[in-house]
Structure 1
Amino acid sequence: MYAQRNLETRDLESICLMPQSEEELFYMSPRFVHPLTPEQILNIIKDRFEPTVIVVQKTDEVVAYANIYKDDSEESSFWLGNVIVSPSYRGKGAAQYLLDVMLDKAKLNLKIKEIRLACHNTNSRGLAFYSKYGFKPFDVKMTSTDAKKYITIHMIKELHLRYEESEQFR
């Protein structure tokens, strides 16, 4: 049902429509300002790796987006960022497909041994999803906007090559 490809300029407008509120946009990135614009996405991906969209195979409709970034304050720290799924595809496997693709790209393309992410305490659906995927909390930070205070939970997952993946490199 789904396929993945690298982000293209034509995808930006669709991604901008995915966050349904200021809070969802904050979950996607505290650096974004509501309403999300293509220029904000283009600005943030300058320092990102593997900007990826998930599309419906038959129609090429963009249904999810994410990328990976490096935390310059920690030498080998890579983070999953800007994760968003179209409202009409939530609960339909798009997030799972996106996460599988991004973890594979981190392991195979970037040779990352572990990946981190930040999820806010009010995003209980996201916290449950990432926990189910084997992400474990390792730090907690206070984050605030003009309107609200959040607890940002930093999570980490070790990335292991499956046997069949390791065979590709022999």
Structure 2
Amino acid sequence: MMTSVSEGQHSIFSCRPVTAQDFEIISTFPRSEQELFFISPKLRFPLTASQLEELAKERRCPTVLVCDGQVSGYANFYNVEEDKCWLGNFIISPEYRGKGGAEFLIRHMLRLAREELKVQELHLICHNINTRALLFYTGIGFKPYDVGSRTAHQGSTIAGIHMKITV
């Protein structure tokens, strides 16, 4: 499924299924070990295309955001159940952050969850130290409902805040 829209200052966003060539581009998005941990605790810095490709084999609907012809975001689903699924590996390229693409990609993933996976809720985990993401997710309607302890990339303990939204 591909969707597109005109946003902001003449930027064109669209979403499409990921291709093998996209993983090389996506692997450049995380700029630090901490940022990569926010995307997935399973991945190791520096991120490689092969790590992403292997993880995508376990996921559903791996999707890229395209802005002005450039791959600029990525997301997928995991732990798909009868009534819910989890958003995973959500990231926007540093060059495209703050331009509306993150919300566009989330809205597209909500549509996929509803129409393709036939679930009623989309869940995610956001780490307490990722303030920008927490504010973003709550701003578009995700509600916190649980907190779990997680070991961060350098061994410190942080909170994984479980959030959900009705699709």
Identity rate of aligned residues, in percent?
A: 43
TM-score (norm 2): 0.88
Q: Which one of the candidate residues 152, 162, 166 is aligned to 1:154?
A: 162
**1:41 to 2:52 alignment:** yes
- Cα distance change, pair 116–146 in 1 and its aligned pair in 2 (3 A): closer
How big is the shift at 1:77? 3.8
How big is the shift at 1:38? 1.1
1:60-71 to 2 correspondence within 5 Å?
Answer: 60-70=69-79
Q: Which one of the candidate residues 131, 139, 147 is aligned to 1:132?
A: 139
How big is the shift at 1:145? 3.1
Aligned to 2:99, what secondary structure does the other structure show?
A: coil
User: Does structure 2 conserve the Cα–Cα contact (< 8 Å) formed by 1:113 and 1:158?
Assistant: yes
Partner of 1:78: 85
TM-score (norm 1): 0.87
Q: Which one of the candidate residues 107, 114, 121 is aligned to 1:107?
A: 114
Could you report, residue by residue, the CA deviation over 1:77-125 in whole angstroms, capped at 9, with x for unpaired residues?
4100000000011000110111011001101111110010000001001
How big is the shift at 1:138? 1.0
User: Does structure 2 conserve the Cα–Cα contact (< 8 Å) formed by 1:70 and 1:76?
Assistant: no
Q: Which one of the candidate residues 85, 88, 95 is aligned to 2:95?
A: 88
Partner of 1:141: 148
User: Does structure 1 conserve the Cα–Cα contact (< 8 Å) formed by 2:142 and 2:163?
Assistant: yes
- Cα distance change, pair 146–99 in 1 and its aligned pair in 2 (3 A): closer
Opposite residue 153 of structure 1, the aligned amino acid is I
Q: Which runs of 4+ in 1 moved over 3 A?
A: 74-77
How big is the shift at 1:55? 0.7
User: Does structure 2 conserve the Cα–Cα contact (< 8 Å) formed by 1:25 and 1:32?
Assistant: yes
Q: Which has the larger radius of gyration?
A: 1
How big is the shift at 1:146? 5.3
CA RMSD of aligned residues (A): 1.3
Unmatched 5+ stretches in structure 2? 1-11
Partner of 2:23: 12
More helix by share: 1
Q: Which one of the candidate residues 53, 60, 63 is aligned to 2:64?
A: 53
- CA separation in 2, counterparts of 1:146 and 1:103? 29
Aligned residues: 155
Opposite residue 73 of structure 2, the aligned amino acid is A
